[in-house]
């Protein structure tokens, strides 16, 4: 279905992404982080070890002195509250419910 690009539709979709999808990607969805090994012949081999699967938030937490990369007004304590407020599966369920509510709230005219 075509979604008209009205200010209300764009704002509603952007609000949903900011409130639900982006935090899900950063705090609840695991990613594979590769490691590169250089062989004796100088060839780069990329591996995806089991301990390299983590959320982007867990990855930044694992970096030494990671707090130096954060904005001064956003400490890890504040990010921890958001990251651990809900389990991964609960966040996903709630995000889907909120997405359905967002779609239902849009003013879409079907032919």
Q: What is the 3-state secondary structure (H, E, C) of the chain?
A: CCCCCCHHHHHHHHHHHHHHHHHHHHHCCCEECCEEEECCCCCEEEECCHHHEECHHHHHHHCCCHHHHCCCCCCHHHHHHHHCCCCHHHHHHHHHHHHHHHHHHCCCCCC
The larger pLDDT score, comparing residue 6 to residue 17, is at: 17
- Does the pLDDT value for residue 5 go beyond 80? no
- CA-to-CA distance for 42 and 46, rounded, in angstroms? 13
Could you give the percent of the chain with pLDDT greater than 90? 80
Q: What is the mean pLDDT of the chain?
A: 91
Q: Which residue has the tokens 């780069």?
A: 44
- Does the pLDDT value for residue 111 go beyond 50? no
* Mean pLDDT of all residues in 54-67: 95
- Does the pLDDT value for residue 82 go beyond 90? yes
- Does the pLDDT value for residue 18 go beyond 70? yes
* Mean pLDDT of all residues in 8-28: 94
């Amino acid at each position: 279905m075509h979604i008209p690009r009205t200010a209300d539709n764009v704002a509603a979709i952007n609000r949903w992404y900011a409130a639900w999808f982006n935090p899900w990607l950063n705090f609840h969805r695991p990613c594979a982080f590769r490691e590169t090994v250089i062989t004796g012949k100088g060839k780069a081999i990329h591996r995806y070890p089991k301990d390299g699967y983590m959320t982007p938030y867990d990855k930044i937490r694992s970096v030494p002195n990671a707090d130096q990369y954060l904005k001064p007004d956003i400490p890890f304590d504040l990010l921890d509250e958001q990251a651990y407020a809900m389990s991964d599966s609960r966040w996903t369920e709630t995000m889907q419910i909120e997405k359905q509510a967002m779609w239902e709230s849009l003013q879409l005219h079907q032919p």
